[in-house]
C-alpha cells in the first residue's frame, strides 16, 4: 500500500453510529465507506465494526451474507476496530449473550455484555490510553460508555490499552489490541476526539 494513498477503511453499515465513524475516519486521513455487501470487503484495507446491539448485529451479518466473508477476511489479517458492540463481535468468548449469537473470533478475549448496566447507567469518564495519552502534554481521553461491555480477561499476546480509572468499575479493561485488531468498550466517534480513529488509521497505513 502506497504511503501517499489514503487507506480505504470500511464501516460495517448494518446498524449503529455508521455516519459518525465514517466522518471520524475521513477526518483522520482515511477514505471511508459504508460496507453492506460481501463484494465490498475486497475493496478495503481495514474495517470498523460500530456499536449497536450485538445479537441483532450477528443476525444481520447472516441476513446480508456477510458473516462468513468477514470472518474469513479477519482470519486472513484484515485490520479491524470494534467499538462497544463491535468489541463483542470481535471477541472469542462472550458472557451474558444469547446461545444463538455468533461472533467473529478475531480477538482472544472474554467480554461481558452490558457489563456497566442498562442505558440509564451510561456514563462518561476520563481515562489514559496507551499509545495515545502517554505522549508528552497529551490530555486524558474522554470516554462515553453506553450499555457497554468490559473485558473480563485477555490471552497472552493481547495488549491492554485502557482501564476504568475510578468508581465501582475501577480497573476494568475497556480497550485492547491484538496485532492489527483494536477494540474499545466506549464510543470515541461521539466525542469529537479523533485520536482513537487516528490510531487505527495509522495501524492500517502501516
Q: According to the annotation, is 92 in a ligand binding site?
A: no
C-alpha cell at 120: 440509564
Q: Which of 20, 21, 103, 189 is catalytic?
A: 189
Q: According to the annotation, is 2 in a ligand binding site?
A: no
Give the span between the Cα atoms of 158 and 22, in whole angstroms.
Answer: 27
Would residue 187 show up in a list of annotated catalytic residues for this protein? Answer: yes
Cell 485490520 identifies what position?
Answer: 79
Q: According to the annotation, is 113 in a ligand binding site?
A: yes
Give the span between the Cα atoms of 75 and 16, in whole angstroms.
Answer: 24
Would residue 202 show up in a list of annotated catalytic residues for this protein? Answer: no
Q: According to the annotation, is 206 in a ligand binding site?
A: no
Q: Which of 84, 103, 197, 198 is catalytic?
A: 84
Would residue 84 show up in a list of annotated catalytic residues for this protein? Answer: yes
Q: According to the annotation, is 53 in a ligand binding site?
A: yes
Q: Which of 21, 103, 187, 197 is catalytic?
A: 187
Q: According to the annotation, is 159 in a ligand binding site?
A: no
**Per residue, what are the HEC states of the chain?**
CCCCCCCEEEEECCCCCHHHHHHHHHHCCCEEEEECCHHHHHHCCEEEECCCCHHHHHHHHHHCCCHHHHHHHHHCCCCEEEECHHHHHHEEEEECCCCCCCCCCCEEEEEECCCCCCHHHCEEEEECCCCCCCCCCCCCEEEEECCCCEEEEECCCCEEEEECCCCCCCCCEEEEEECCEEEECCCHHHCCCCHHHHHHHHHHHC
Q: Which residues are annotated as a binding site for L-glutamine?
A: 52-54, 113, 146-147
Q: Which residues are annotated as a binding site?
A: 52-54, 113, 146-147
Question: Could you give the residue numbers annotated as active site?
Answer: 84, 187, 189
Amino acid at each position: 500500500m502506497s504511503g501517499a494513498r489514503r487507506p480505504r477503511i470500511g464501516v460495517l453499515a448494518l446498524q449503529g453510529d455508521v455516519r459518525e465513524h465514517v466522518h471520524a475516519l475521513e477526518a483522520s486521513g482515511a477514505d471511508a465507506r459504508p460496507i453492506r455487501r460481501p463484494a465490498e470487503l475486497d475493496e478495503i484495507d481495514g474495517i470498523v465494526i460500530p456499536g449497536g446491539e450485538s445479537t441483532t448485529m450477528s443476525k444481520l451479518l447472516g441476513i446480508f451474507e456477510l458473516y462468513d466473508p468477514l470472518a474469513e477476511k479477519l482470519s486472513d489479517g484484515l485490520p479491524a476496530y470494534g467499538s462497544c458492540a463491535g468489541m463483542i463481535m470481535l471477541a472469542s468468548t462472550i458472557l451474558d449473550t444469547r446461545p444463538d449469537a455468533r461472533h467473529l473470533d478475531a480477538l482472544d478475549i472474554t467480554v461481558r455484555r452490558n457489563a456497566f448496566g442498562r442505558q440509564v447507567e451510561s456514563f462518561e469518564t476520563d481515562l489514559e490510553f496507551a499509545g495515545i495519552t502517554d505522549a508528552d502534554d497529551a490530555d486524558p481521553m474522554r470516554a462515553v460508555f453506553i450499555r457497554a461491555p468490559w473485558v473480563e480477561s485477555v490471552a497472552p499476546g493481547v495488549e491492554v490499552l485502557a482501564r476504568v480509572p475510578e468508581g465501582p468499575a475501577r480497573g476494568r479493561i475497556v480497550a485492547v489490541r491484538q496485532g492489527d485488531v483494536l477494540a474499545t468498550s466506549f464510543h470515541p466517534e461521539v466525542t469529537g476526539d479523533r485520536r482513537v480513529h487516528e490510531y487505527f488509521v495509522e495501524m492500517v497505513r502501516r
